[in-house]
Amino acid sequence: MTDLTWWQRGIIYQVYPRSFQDSDGDGIGDLRGITQRLDHIVDLGADIVWISPIFPSPMKDFGYDISDYRGIDPMFGTLADFDAMIDAAHARGLRVLLDFVPSHTSDQHPWFVESRSARNSDKRDWYIWRDAGPDGGPPTNWISEFGPSTWAWDDQTQQYYLHIFLTEQPALNWRNPAVQAEMLDTMRFWYDRGVDGFRVDAITHAAPDVDKGDHPVNPDWHDGMNPSLRLLKVHSKNQPMNYDIVRMMRAVTQEYPDRLLLGETDGTLAEVTSYYGTQGDGFQLPFNFALLDIPWTVPEIVRTVEAYEAALPDTGWPTWVVGNHDCIRIASRVGSDLARVALTLLLTLRGTPTVYQGDELGMQSADIPPELVQDPWEKQVPGKGLGRDPARTPMPWDDSAQAGFTDGTPWLPVFTPPDGTVAGQAAGDTMLAYVKRLTALRQTTPALLSGEYRTISAADDLLVYARGSGDDAIIICLNFADAPRDPGLSGHTLLSSANAADGPLHPSEARLIRPT
Ligand code: GLC
């Protein structure tokens, strides 16, 4: 247990700052708000806070469109508020990860303003500009993540620029050494200010190779699917250069003692695990999104866990996640009854878990009326269930107005989950109280921190697996059925989501057992 590092032992907690806590009444969360609420994260038993972007931004993609990498957006506060937040977090033993967005800037970033000002501008090659194709249209058929073509026409300089996400998020040209130097220096700026690492955004899109031409059609695409999946992104995603970029980021990270890089690495199992690098030169934690996409059934979950365990490189430390600011809330996806089972799975698989803010309360994806929609993706591709507002509603803290999130009008409506607010769930048979007991057990149980994973049985909607071996072993029983199930094991119950002591598992119960 002692030979694990902080990011192997720890639980990551994702803060979506707009929706965590507002301190100044503008209806949008901010840094002082985060500082006020750090104790919630400590009480939960999490150790590492990842904060989605807080940098100056026109907020077209809510902070993932950055116009200054070295500042704080006034909406979120000041650099002094940031330093105070870091100090307060460190004083509580929490580590802090910032979101680093290397693959694109805002179109309002001074670099892009200069780049688009003239073809011979010094910064022209900081972005990806190309002439029109032979038919006068875009140079390639590529489709952006949020719907339309990845190419936007610039009237003044008569060329197209590439954007993988919104038109207002032009792609940076990482093939230009000046871009590399500047961006890597940005990491040093924040490391010097005391951050413990970065979650690296959209890394799979960092080195699109536009001169390779058109993307082939995806034969599996059909009407009703996400339009951006209509083509196979073979020339834009996971290009060989991506690994060079990660190596550069890791080298900068190694200039500082004990820092962490967590990468947003979506893709096949082979693609995800390739981001560990070969000799400790990749991400320490390439995000593993496998549990986000599968049907929520015992056979699919077992297959996913075993395939990932088998594919990990020898030195690769696993990592798991069941929710974030880009997808449906886990409690809505699996249903409220199974929310505790899902969080138990997340927190008892081998590896570093990331808990998305509010999932510890059983927050659900909210119904956002059309006139309140904020997310640009939903606005560009409406009605396909792609919008991300439902998972981004504010944290419900207590029984005061707007559940204690703000004194003003919240940017998205506040909803309280079935088990109640943070204050309301402090004690009793609630999701939050259960998750706290689970994290406390995890922190003090070597088998849960570092023990091997082994499937024991997976039948009849009942998943049983072991962590660790011998006297240390812990057995985890997850009942996905809405009927009782008997795991057929004898042992001492350490924790039950249904407060059961022994006997068959209750419907939708999660139980941790020390075998006898
Ligand atoms: C990542 C973020 C997402 C954002 C996108 C573009 O996928 O998680 O929220 O829209 O990158 O930066």
- For 432-451, the pLDDT digits (tens) are 999 999 999 999 999 999 99
- For residues 494 and 351, what is the distance between their CA atoms, to the nearest angstrom? 20
Tens digit of each residue's pLDDT (9 = 90 or more) over 221-280 = 999 899 999 999 999 999 999 999 999 999 999 999 999 999 999 999 999 999 999 888
Count of other CB atoms within 10 angstroms of residue 221: 15
3 state DSSP class of 61: coil
Read off the pLDDT band of 424 (50, 70, 90).
very high
Q: Which atom of ligand 1 is nearest to the CA of 61?
A: 10
Catalytic positions are: 201, 255
Which residues fall within 8 angstroms of residue 275, CB to CB, at 6 or more apart?
A: 203, 243, 246, 263, 265, 282, 283, 286
Q: Is the pLDDT of residue 202 over 90?
A: yes
> In the 8-state DSSP scheme, what is residue 171?
B
Q: Which residue puts its alpha carbon closest to atom 9 of ligand 1?
A: 326
Cα 169 to ligand 1 centre (Å): 11
* Exposed / middle / buried, residue 18 (Cβ in 10 Å: 0-12, 13-18, 19+): buried
Give the model's pLDDT for residue 490: 87
**Is the model more confident about 422 or about 224?**
422
**Is the model more confident about 147 or about 404?**
404
CB burial readout 296-310, b (16+ within 10 A) else e: bebeebbebbeebbe
> In the 8-state DSSP scheme, what is residue 391?
G
> Ligand 1: which residues within 6 Å by Cβ?
61, 64, 101, 165, 201-202, 264, 325-326
Closest C-alpha to 467, from 416, 507, 514, 399: 514
Tens digit of each residue's pLDDT (9 = 90 or more) over 287-346 = 999 999 899 999 999 999 999 999 999 999 999 999 999 999 999 999 999 999 999 999
Nearest-10 crossing angle of helices 240-254, 177-192: 30
Give the model's pLDDT for residue 219: 97
The pair of three-digit structure tokens given for residue 421, joined into one six-digit string = 């607010």
Per the CB < 8 A criterion, the answer to whether 334 and 342 are in contact is yes
Cα 263 to ligand 1 centre (Å): 12
Q: What angle do CA 309, 42, 425 make, to 5 degrees?
A: 95
Per the CB < 8 A criterion, the answer to whether 351 and 408 are in contact is no
Per the CB < 8 A criterion, the answer to whether 12 and 48 are in contact is yes
The pair of three-digit structure tokens given for residue 370, joined into one six-digit string = 């059309």
Per the CB < 8 A criterion, the answer to whether 97 and 12 are in contact is yes
Per the CB < 8 A criterion, the answer to whether 166 and 144 are in contact is yes
The pair of three-digit structure tokens given for residue 516, joined into one six-digit string = 């006898």
Give the model's pLDDT for residue 247: 98
Chain position carrying tokens 């060329």: 159
- For residues 149 and 164, what is the distance between their CA atoms, to the nearest angstrom? 9
Q: Which residue puts its alpha carbon closest to atom 2 of ligand 1?
A: 201
Cα 143 to ligand 1 centre (Å): 16
Ligand 1 binding pocket mutation candidate from 50, 61, 144 (most atoms within 8 A of CB): 61
- For residues 344 and 444, what is the distance between their CA atoms, to the nearest angstrom? 16
**What is the DSSP pairing of strand 491-496 with strand 510-515?**
antiparallel
- For residues 94 and 46, what is the distance between their CA atoms, to the nearest angstrom? 8
pLDDT > 70: what percent of the chain?
100
Q: Which atom of ligand 1 is nearest to the CA of 266?
A: 7
* Strand partners for 353: 320
Give the model's pLDDT for residue 280: 87
Which residues fall within 8 angstroms of residue 186, CB to CB, at 6 or more apart?
A: 69, 70, 100
Tens digit of each residue's pLDDT (9 = 90 or more) over 222-239 = 998 999 999 999 999 999
Cα 353 to ligand 1 centre (Å): 20
User: In the predicted model, what is the mean pLDDT of residues 161-165?
Assistant: 98
Cα 339 to ligand 1 centre (Å): 25
Ligand 1 binding pocket mutation candidate from 326, 327, 328, 357 (most atoms within 8 A of CB): 326
Closest C-alpha to 179, from 246, 255, 108, 104: 104
Q: Where are the alpha helices (DSSP H) in 164-226?
A: 177-192
- For residues 352 and 69, what is the distance between their CA atoms, to the nearest angstrom? 28
> In the 8-state DSSP scheme, what is residue 491?
E
- For residues 31 and 73, what is the distance between their CA atoms, to the nearest angstrom? 10
Give the model's pLDDT for residue 2: 53
Per the CB < 8 A criterion, the answer to whether 297 and 342 are in contact is no
pLDDT > 90: what percent of the chain?
95
Q: Which residue puts its alpha carbon closest to atom 3 of ligand 1?
A: 326
Tens digit of each residue's pLDDT (9 = 90 or more) over 164-186 = 999 999 999 999 999 999 999 99
